[in-house]
């Protein structure tokens, strides 16, 4: 059987190059074209030596392919995605350009008028564990943001089962690669090293995405979501701590309640290849290079508060790996194909 021809728009960013790395050993696809305006005409393996096994020249525009990944900055993906769709390809957008269902909400948070709002209704939000059937039928998938992936997976079981009050707090720490390759003062080594900083206190662009998808799980609740991101001095990884008050009478008191919440989470994610409920609080390094999301749910008995710790690699489950997981579903391949690797530790 012939392999599916795949292209990557903007292979020179962290997410694009991670898609290329993960596709290298995928048995059912052929990486046929990669683009990168800053490196047009250069050999991929020379421009990015860690990808030296991929014999491709970086192009300015994407050739006709069966499947396209777009990893340009937000605001720049709409035109190439629409062009790929019109040529008969399926596509995953790794930016925020198709994640929000409402064009006005997109303009509010990204300060850009969406140039193809009709496609917002068609795009399926690509959090595989919650939207598997829709993704399998889609030709356009909006890959979730890294922070929303860690947050939504952490709180979804409790919210969907109606166990928590609608006031939810997400406290997230991310490695510096989450900011991309563009140089900024905040990600300069001397600024970020041996330092922890908070940002976007007035609202991060991933907040409306989190609220949008959580509201679908609890349509009758008026959610109040606080999301606070932090930058920490490591290359990659996200740890999100989630907090919510438990509704009275929903769970037993004491240690029995802790056992019930752990069972609820294990039952909710039973059979999921990339979400694992663990017995001790996870660490970011335990997900490094893998497509895993590790979750640890517990209860603060003193305050009757649910606490969930969530860990992912922001470039894999929070980006490229999840995109390939979505591609596998869209093309009818086994969901784990090309992604069943263990984390790199330590």
- List active site positions: 146
Give the Cα separation of 329 and 334 in Å (integer): 7
Catalogue the E-assigned strands of 187-253: 197-198, 224-231, 238-246
Helices first, then strands: H and E counts in the chain: 11, 14
Rounded to whole angstroms, what are the CA distances from 125 to 178, 189, 212, 235, 258?
A: 20, 34, 10, 27, 31
Query: Quick one: how far is CA 162 from the chain centroid?
Result: 25
Q: Are 307 and 243 in contact (CB under 8 A)?
A: yes
Structure tokens at 305: 């508060």
Q: Are 67 and 29 in contact (CB under 8 A)?
A: yes
Give the Cα separation of 290 and 21 in Å (integer): 12
The 10 Å Cβ neighbour count of residue 236 is: 24
Buried b (16+ CB within 10 A) or exposed e, 84-102: bbeeebbbbbbbbbbbbbe
Q: Are 287 and 312 in contact (CB under 8 A)?
A: yes
Q: What are phi and psi of 300, to 5 degrees?
A: -80, 100
Give the Cα separation of 102 and 118 in Å (integer): 10
Give the Cα separation of 22 and 12 in Å (integer): 15
* Of 286, 290, 284, 295, nearest in space to 322 by CA: 290
Q: Helices 321-331 and 128-137: crossing angle, nearest 10°?
A: 40
Kind and range of the H or E run holding 263? helix 255-268
């Amino acid at each position: 059987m012939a392999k599916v021809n795949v292209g990557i728009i903007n292979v020179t960013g962290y997410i694009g190059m991670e898609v290329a790395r993960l596709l290298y050993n995928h048995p059912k696809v052929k990486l046929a074209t990669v683009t990168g305006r800053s490196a047009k005409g250069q050999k991929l393996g020379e421009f990015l030596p860690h990808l030296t096994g991929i014999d491709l020249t970086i192009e300015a525009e994407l050739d006709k392919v069966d499947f396209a990944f777009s990893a340009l900055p937000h605001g720049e993906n709409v035109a190439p995605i629409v062009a790929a769709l019109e040529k008969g390809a399926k596509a995953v957008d790794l930016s925020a350009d198709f994640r929000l269902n409402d064009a006005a909400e997109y303009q509010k948070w990204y300060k850009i008028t969406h140039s193809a709002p009709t496609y917002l209704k068609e795009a399926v939000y690509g959090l595989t564990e919650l939207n598997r059937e829709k993704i399998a039928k889609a030709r356009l998938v909006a890959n979730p943001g890294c922070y929303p992936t860690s947050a939504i997976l952490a709180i979804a079981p409790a919210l969907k089962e109606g166990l928590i009050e609608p006031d939810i707090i997400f406290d997230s720490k991310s490695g510096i690669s989450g900011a991309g390759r563009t140089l900024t003062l905040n990600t300069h080594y001397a600024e970020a090293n041996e330092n922890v900083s908070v940002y976007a206190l007035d609202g991060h662009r991933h907040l409306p995405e989190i609220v949008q998808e959580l509201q679908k799980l609890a349509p009758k609740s008026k959610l109040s979501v606080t999301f606070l991101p932090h930058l920490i001095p490591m290359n990659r990884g996200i740890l999100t701590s989630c907090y919510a008050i438990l509704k009275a009478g929903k769970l037993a008191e004491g240690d029995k309640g802790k056992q019930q919440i752990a069972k609820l989470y294990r039952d909710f994610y039973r059979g999921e290849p990339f979400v694992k409920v663990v017995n001790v609080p996870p660490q970011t390094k335990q997900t490094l290079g893998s497509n895993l999301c590790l979750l640890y749910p517990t209860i603060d008995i003193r305050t009757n508060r649910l606490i969930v710790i969530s860990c992912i690699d922001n470039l894999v489950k929070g980006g490229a790996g999840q995109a390939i997981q979505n591609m596998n579903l869209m093309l009818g391949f086994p969901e784990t194909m090309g992604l069943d690797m263990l984390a790199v530790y330590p």
